[in-house]
Structure 1
Amino acid sequence: MSLFTRLATSYFFYFAILGLISPYLSVFLDGKGFTSVELGEIFAILTATKIVAPSLWAILADKTGQKLLIIRLGALLALLSFIVLFWLNSYWPISFCLALFSLFWTAILPQLEVFTLTSVRHSSKIYARIRLWGSLGFIVLAVVAGQVMEYYAPGNLLNSEANLFTNAFVWMGTVILLCLLISTMVIKPQRIVNKPQQQALAITGKLLDLRFIIFFMAGVLLQISFGPYYGFFALFLRDLAYPGVAVGLLISLGVVAEILIFIFASSFFKAFTLKAILIVSLAATALRWFIVALYAESIWLLALTQLIHAASFALFHSASMIFISEHFTRCQQSRGQAVYLGGVYGVGGAIGAYIAGVLWLDGLGASTTFLTASVSAFIAALLMLFWPKTIKKPSQ
């Protein structure tokens, strides 16, 4: 089995669990009887673990140089935490369990990204092709879980069967996490690891650089805008009477567009600067949430917004990974990734989830929530206009 296959398999299962949790955790929690405010709080608690956890894991990775060991440990502990959901039904136990799961799950991606970028010698072309397998994993689970949600919809079942989707949700997550653990076990360690004396290099100067500050703030605003999408989109479509299979297909459509971007990412980076790519991605995201807020009843316009996911996630993410890999030195990569993922996805995601939960009002405030998201993404695009010039082109 080649290195490409091993890494691609790990990305597949890592993002497969995201394809289950991101769209359908809200449906799972709704099945437990929680309100939209409680859903927002749970999503905020879960996301907030990304603020501190990645940095703690990154410090350990930089000190030991054992990135692969941390990836495997994170996969194992995430699996054990998720399994506990089988026996939980009330607010605080579920919140604690999900927070624990996120604490360990967040150990995986920063180290996997660094491991992969180092293995492919920072080639944006090869990285994009490996990363697209993560998108495929997301699609598979989004479609499968959508069909399961449709089959186990409470209206189609007897009252005694109404909680079957919640059980199916945990079963699917358990199987995926087990496969993720197995996939990490077949990855071979890199021959070169960071030397202990390199760990003294501080990253404070890099973090205080104006380019990083503007980039970081724009990323936080972008993730705030994703709050209602990650937390309530599946519920939103269900309330608009879209069938479960349509929910899965619409969510997957965005990931299909994402895959195409990952395949042709190197062409974009050759033709445009990182600044131009980031600005366009953010502006497109603002337009996306505006359309969702006002025209979600039209499946064609909704499909268009999902195609925009290619820019609002895939293009922005690829550009971000290239910027992070160039901005930080080799021995700072784990901490740089952790600050970015923990700060942007942690702080931004938690704030976005909480605001979405407050504004959602059990579906009555859906339009207001997505309009607020649109404003957040638009401000991020304006902020990126002040990003200093890119000094060098990303490596190909």
Structure 2
Amino acid sequence: MKLNLSFYYFFYFATIGIYVIFFPNYLKNLGYPPEEIGILFSALPISRFITPFFFQKKAITTTIFKISIVISALIPIIFFINNFFIYLIGFTILGVVWSINFPYIESLAINKLGAHYGKTRLWGSVGFVAVALGLSYFNVNFIWLFLILNLITSYFAFYFINPNFSISKYYEKIDFLKEWQFWIALILLQISFGGFYNFFTIYNLSNGIPKEINGWLWTIGVVAEIVIFIYQYKFLNKNNSLFYIKISLFMTSIRWFILYLFAGNILLIAFSQTLHLFSFAIFHTAALMYISSKYKNQTLAQQFYAGIGYGLAAFLGSFISGYLYGKNLFLYEAIIVFIAFLVIWSKK
């Protein structure tokens, strides 16, 4: 099971790497204006946010899981057609099926592996880095590679249709008020990431950091998350998951504040990138463990975690960061995530 999960994470996040890093520039080279690219890349996170609401009264069945895997494997074919509305439909459908497939497997992984989840999940980070660095040196047809990676990812996803790997299913709705502090903190954290994902490179370039150095600064963050994924099982069970959520929020606030105070300082910005181990790796694993312990309908809880955090909040963060961009961008982002820390601090 661990081996198949590792392969799944590797190829899934390699696919995400193409979508995040290279697809926008690919569309730009096809002649799409920025506003149309913005619309296209808002379709997937919004559909990821909306999809879980359709499963409030119905669990993901084996049939639904199979259908979504097949669609996920084949939908990239339509991207060979250069048409704005075709791309919009494609990204929307991908958002729906990814909102079904990935949370199902995530809930299975955290349920079976617990604190050891990170040692398997790290292969997703490896896949992302492999694409980010590898495709920087090779010219390939991104649509063909996107299709092939989706096919391989779907192949490994089919392995988890086996009933031996199913988790218990409950048809309960997700009560957001029950854990409102967590959901608000998640939203604010991911909103704060909007400035980082959209403007980190631009911010560094404008402060005199060369393009080549920026690539390594991004890599430092991913390497930090890989390292902590390997070793987090040693300490995650020593305190409850809420403790690690709190400290991750606080350290993320420190991370953004360093970017604000020391713009252009390569060494300190490199140090701030190591804090990605809190911002993503520790927070992510602790959050999955937390919601799995609070909600019986674990798959649906994972769907909402992905849909709200990486769908709605990511969309809002991207939108808001455009208005906040300037020399104070990361000061604002630090304040946003510190508010998240204050929101959840008093929760026991």
1:7-86 matches, cutoff 5 A: 7-33=5-31, 38-56=36-54, 62=59, 64=61, 66=62, 70-86=64-80
2:56–2:173 Cα contact (<8 Å) kept: no
- Once residues 257 and 33 of structure 2 are traced to their aligned partners in structure 1, the CA distance between those partners, rounded to angstroms, is 25
Q: Judging changes above 3 Å, is the alpha-carbon distance between structure 1 residues 254 and 380 closer, same or farther for their aligned structure 2 residues?
A: same
Asked if 1:4 corresponds to 2:25, the answer is no
Say which is worse superposed, 77-86 or 31-40, in terms of deviation.
31-40
Q: Return 5+ residue gaps in structure 2 as ranges.
A: none
Asked if 1:341 corresponds to 2:306, the answer is yes
Asked if 1:185 corresponds to 2:158, the answer is yes
Asked if 1:385 corresponds to 2:330, the answer is no
1:1-396 matches, cutoff 5 A: 3-33=1-31, 38-56=36-54, 62=59, 64=61, 66=62, 70-88=64-82, 90=84, 92-118=85-111, 120=112, 122-125=113-116, 127-148=117-138, 168-187=141-160, 189-191=162-164, 199-200=170-171, 202-204=172-174, 206-209=175-178, 212-233=179-200, 242-243=210-211, 246-293=213-260, 295-329=262-296, 332-359=297-324, 365-387=325-347, 389=348
Displacement after TM superposition at 1:37 (Å): 5.3
Q: Judging changes above 3 Å, is the alpha-carbon distance between structure 1 residues 223 and 274 closer, same or farther for their aligned structure 2 residues?
A: same
1:71-126 per-residue CA deviation (whole Å, 9 max, x = no partner) reads 55334323433332333254x543343222222222221100122234x2x5312x
Q: Judging changes above 3 Å, is the alpha-carbon distance between structure 1 residues 282 and 42 closer, same or farther for their aligned structure 2 residues?
A: farther
- Once residues 37 and 349 of structure 1 are traced to their aligned partners in structure 2, the CA distance between those partners, rounded to angstroms, is 17
Displacement after TM superposition at 1:254 (Å): 1.2
Percent of pairs with identical residues: 29
TM-score relative to the length of structure 1: 0.77
Q: Judging changes above 3 Å, is the alpha-carbon distance between structure 1 residues 81 and 192 closer, same or farther for their aligned structure 2 residues?
A: closer
- Once residues 105 and 270 of structure 1 are traced to their aligned partners in structure 2, the CA distance between those partners, rounded to angstroms, is 29
Provide the secondary structure at the position in 2 that maps to 1:252. Answer: helix
Displacement after TM superposition at 1:258 (Å): 0.7
Displacement after TM superposition at 1:314 (Å): 0.5
Q: Judging changes above 3 Å, is the alpha-carbon distance between structure 1 residues 293 and 250 closer, same or farther for their aligned structure 2 residues?
A: same
How many residues are paired up? 347
Q: Return 5+ residue gaps in structure 1 as ranges.
A: 153-166, 360-364, 390-396
Whichever residue aligns with residue 79 of structure 2, its letter is L
- Once residues 203 and 187 of structure 1 are traced to their aligned partners in structure 2, the CA distance between those partners, rounded to angstroms, is 24
1:43–1:353 Cα contact (<8 Å) kept: no
1:39–1:357 Cα contact (<8 Å) kept: no
Displacement after TM superposition at 1:358 (Å): 4.5
Q: Judging changes above 3 Å, is the alpha-carbon distance between structure 1 residues 73 and 247 closer, same or farther for their aligned structure 2 residues?
A: farther
- Once residues 83 and 294 of structure 1 are traced to their aligned partners in structure 2, the CA distance between those partners, rounded to angstroms, is 46
- Once residues 280 and 265 of structure 1 are traced to their aligned partners in structure 2, the CA distance between those partners, rounded to angstroms, is 14
- Once residues 102 and 226 of structure 1 are traced to their aligned partners in structure 2, the CA distance between those partners, rounded to angstroms, is 20
Provide the secondary structure at the position in 2 that maps to 1:147. Answer: coil
Provide the secondary structure at the position in 2 that maps to 1:226. Answer: helix
1:270-316 per-residue CA deviation (whole Å, 9 max, x = no partner) reads 44343331122112222223333454533323322221111000000
Provide the secondary structure at the position in 1 that maps to 2:164. Answer: coil
Whichever residue aligns with residue 105 of structure 2, its letter is L
Q: Judging changes above 3 Å, is the alpha-carbon distance between structure 1 residues 36 and 310 closer, same or farther for their aligned structure 2 residues?
A: farther
**C-alpha RMSD of the superposition:** 3.0
1:110–1:334 Cα contact (<8 Å) kept: yes
